[in-house]
Amino acid sequence: MLGIETAAPTLGAESTWTIAARRCLAIVFLGVVPICLIAFLLIDLGHHQSDFATFWQSGRDVLHGRSPYPPLRTLPRHASPTSFAPFVYPPVAAVAMIPLSLVPYGVAVFLFIAVDLAAVALALRLLGVEDWRCYGAAYASAPVYAATGLGAISPLLLLGVAALWRYRNRAIVAGALVAGVATAKLFLWPLWLWLIRTRRFAAAAIAAVVAFAAVAGTWAAIGFTGAWEYPALLGRLTSLVGPQSYSPYALGRSLGFGGGAAQGIAYLVAALGIGVAAWAFSDAGRLLAAAIAISLVTTPILWPHYLVLLFVPISLARRSFSPLWLAPLALWLDSAAWSMGNTTRIVALLAIAAATLAAAVSRVSVQRPV
């Protein structure tokens, strides 16, 4: 009896050390190693071939009283994937990058990549995912690699949407989060419709006020430089790189439709999606997945790293590991950043995204209203 009683703590201690070792290895291989590899990649790419370089420079421009926006006349007639990276985000993003612009580019890269990778893990945690295999599948996916490899803000958008779901019943927090993600990336405007459809009217009002105040305030900080030609700048960007992306708009252009017709078809599909979602779904989880799908359909520029948002409906459908978590790995079949207008590439990516969303929505458990 004495031998059995004294053996139990030893086994418990071994189990504790084993768990600690696994966690340390997970941190190293899912965190430290990717940070180092991707940071060196971004530094090697230089200041003209990554999203983060554009963000970093925009923060420096605002800090020194310059406009981060390029004049329309300076935009090229044709965009190149190796050199075209103008700042075209709302000014909120430029102001938010000021802290990183205060440090050298190499240091800022490491800090931002660490934030990106941490955002993915925190987003899954906020969505109630605890199975470590789900985290491994997410970090191994092409969208997460593309986002961190370019220094994009897509993982931060994933975190914002995850936090929106976690704190959806707190009007101030939910409204501020929708305002934050929508002003960082305009294509996420359907999240505001999600607030309306789920009868979170106070949060919707707060989101509208906060978004207006944030955009107006940050634009005032740069003297409203570029504000009046900003819509034209977005239109020019769409014509330059929209056909080179993976959006339904790009698909239409690859099939020979004009710019207006291609965007009109995308808007028509989005309108049908809004109508179907409003009629078929009453559950907040399925409606959130539908809002994400509508966002991805309506944007004329869709890059592979935008698809990190797929992990929201996937998490709502399966909080433990299942084959659904492996669906984004299929995007590795063609990991090119630009579609170059290739119809086959565009259709393949859209088909994988649509199948993943459909499978996730069908498995989202109905949430009881709170």
The tens digit of pLDDT for each residue in 161-211 reads: 999 999 999 999 999 999 999 999 999 999 999 999 999 999 999 999 999
Residue 155 lies in a domain: yes
If one compares 67 and 27, the residue with the highest pLDDT of the two is: 67
pLDDT tens readout for residues 34-56? 655 555 555 555 554 678 888 99
pLDDT at 9 over 80: no
d(CA 157, CA 181): 6
pTM of the model: 0.86
Higher-scoring residue by pLDDT: 85, 218 = 218
Number of domains in the chain: 1
Residues 213/199, Cβ–Cβ less than 8 Å: no
The residue among 164 and 83 whose pLDDT is bigger is 164
Q: Does the pLDDT at position 358 exceed 60? A: yes
Residue 369 lies in a domain: no
What pLDDT is attached to residue 192?
96
**Band (350; pLDDT cuts 50, 70, 90):** very high
In a domain, 86, yes or no: no
User: How many residues can be counted in the chain?
Assistant: 370
Q: What local confidence, expressed as pLDDT, does residue 296 receive?
A: 93
In a domain, 95, yes or no: yes
Which structural domain, as residue segments, surrounds residue 97? 25-65+91-225+243-363
pLDDT at 347 exceeding the cut of 60: yes
Banded model confidence at residue 368, pLDDT cuts 50, 70, 90: very low
71 occurs within a structural domain: no
The mean pLDDT of 340-363, rounded to a whole number, is 92
User: CA-CA distance, 27 to 201, in Å (whole number)?
Assistant: 40
What confidence category does residue 10 fall into, taking pLDDT thresholds of 50, 70 and 90? very low
Task: Name the pLDDT band for 310 (thresholds 50, 70, 90).
Answer: very high
- pLDDT for residue 164: 97
Using the predicted structure, report yes or no on whether residue 75 has a pLDDT greater than 90.
no
For residues 17 and 272, give the distance between their C-alpha atoms in angstroms, rounded to a whole number.
Answer: 54
CA distance 238 to 199: 33
CA pseudo-torsion sign 130, 181, 150, 114? negative
Largest CA distance in the chain: 86
Rounded CA-CA distance 5/82 in Å is 66
Average pLDDT over residues 312-328: 94
Closest CA to 274 of 297, 292, 298, 290: 290
- What integer best gives the mean pLDDT of the chain? 84
E strands, 112-185, where?
Answer: none
Q: Is 144's pLDDT higher than 50?
A: yes
In a domain, 281, yes or no: yes
Q: What is the pLDDT of residue 281?
A: 80
